[in-house]
């Protein structure tokens, strides 16, 4: 059983009709439903939002999370540094992390990847072709090539992310831009997947091929290694040893 936690800042759904008309109950609810549909008995999903105590990400919640999905945009910079550090520690210990769309600019993503993650330009409303370039990767299993997303927000290259450990998808847009849109990373014992599709004004997370990718990614990210047991430094060395 994979224990997934879907985290959403949950702000734009409450203030912009263009967002609430697509995700009236919040993007997190739709993502949770997608995982339930895709992974059925394999997954147990909970949701958390920024307005919850400790952003809903207490030590207990994170300890009971195998994969954390992170969607954020407007409030990327408002997330508490303490919670960011907590998420980073858990990823290093083996928790999986899916960084979704504009969450690539979240503190969590910047901290774990170590880069600014700035893209070169953005534009709303483009048709996107998502191409599989690593068809043997588990995240690409059963995914048609290409996946056509009728409307999406374009982010363009160069994007200041680290070279992925595995580059699973690239995308091209109507304006001719390209993007590394499905990037897998290992950080400590944890597996991280950046997946670029998912702008809040378009029903991207309702699309069956996108749901397949999300389900595959959760399954892949859940397979991070458990943290090895290590003696603490004070247990290993005499305190006065210098």
Binding site for Zn ion (CB under 5 A): 102, 153, 199
* Cα 70 from Cα 116, distance rounded (Å): 17
* Cα 176 from Cα 8, distance rounded (Å): 31
Q: Could you tell me the smallest distance in angstroms from the CB atom of residue 122 to Zn ion?
A: 7
Cα separations in angstroms, 166 against 48, 132, 161, 210, 215: 29, 12, 13, 19, 18
Q: What do you get for the CA distance between the two ends of the chain, in Å?
A: 45
Cβ-based nearer residue to Zn ion, 39 or 98:
98
Q: Which two tokens stand for residue 9?
A: 């800042």
* Cα 11 from Cα 217, distance rounded (Å): 25
Cβ-based nearer residue to Zn ion, 86 or 199:
199
Q: Which residue number places its CB atom closest to Zn ion? A: 199
Q: Could you tell me the smallest distance in angstroms from the CB atom of residue 186 to Zn ion?
A: 26
Cα separations in angstroms, 89 against 103, 184, 187, 225: 18, 18, 10, 14
Counting other chains too, the contacts that 15-20 makes at CB distance below 8 Å and 24 or more residues apart are 16/200, 16/201, 18/201, 19/200, 19/201
Q: Could you tell me the smallest distance in angstroms from the CB atom of residue 149 to Zn ion?
A: 12
Place of tokens 């006065």: 240
Q: Could you tell me the smallest distance in angstroms from the CB atom of residue 144 to Zn ion?
A: 23
Q: Could you tell me the smallest distance in angstroms from the CB atom of residue 5 to Zn ion?
A: 22
Q: Could you tell me the smallest distance in angstroms from the CB atom of residue 199 to Zn ion?
A: 4
Cβ-based nearer residue to Zn ion, 102 or 181:
102
């Amino acid at each position: 059983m994979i224990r997934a936690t879907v985290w959403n800042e949950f702000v734009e759904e409450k203030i912009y009709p263009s967002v609430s008309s697509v995700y009236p109950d919040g993007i997190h609810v739709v993502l949770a439903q997608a995982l339930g549909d895709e992974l059925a008995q394999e997954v147990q999903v909970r949701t958390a939002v920024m307005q919850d105590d400790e952003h809903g990400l207490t030590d207990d919640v994170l300890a009971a999370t195998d994969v954390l999905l992170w969607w954020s945009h407007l409030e990327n910079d408002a997330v508490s540094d303490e919670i960011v550090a907590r998420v980073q520690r858990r990823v290093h210990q083996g928790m999986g992390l899916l960084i979704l769309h504009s969450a690539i600019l979240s503190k969590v993503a910047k901290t774990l990847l170590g880069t600014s993650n700035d893209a070169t330009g953005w534009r709303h409303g483009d048709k996107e072709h998502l191409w599989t370039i690593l068809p043997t990767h588990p995240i690409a299993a059963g995914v048609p090539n290409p996946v056509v997303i009728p409307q999406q927000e374009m982010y363009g290259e160069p994007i200041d992310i680290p070279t992925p450990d595995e580059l699973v998808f690239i995308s091209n847009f109507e304006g001719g831009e390209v993007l590394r849109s499905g990037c897998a990373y290992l950080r400590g014992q944890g597996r991280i997947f950046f997946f670029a599709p998912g702008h809040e004004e378009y029903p991207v997370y309702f699309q069956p091929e996108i749901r397949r990718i999300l389900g595959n990614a959760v399954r892949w990210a859940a397979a991070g290694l458990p943290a090895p047991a290590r003696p603490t430094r004070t247990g290993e060395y005499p305190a006065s040893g210098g």
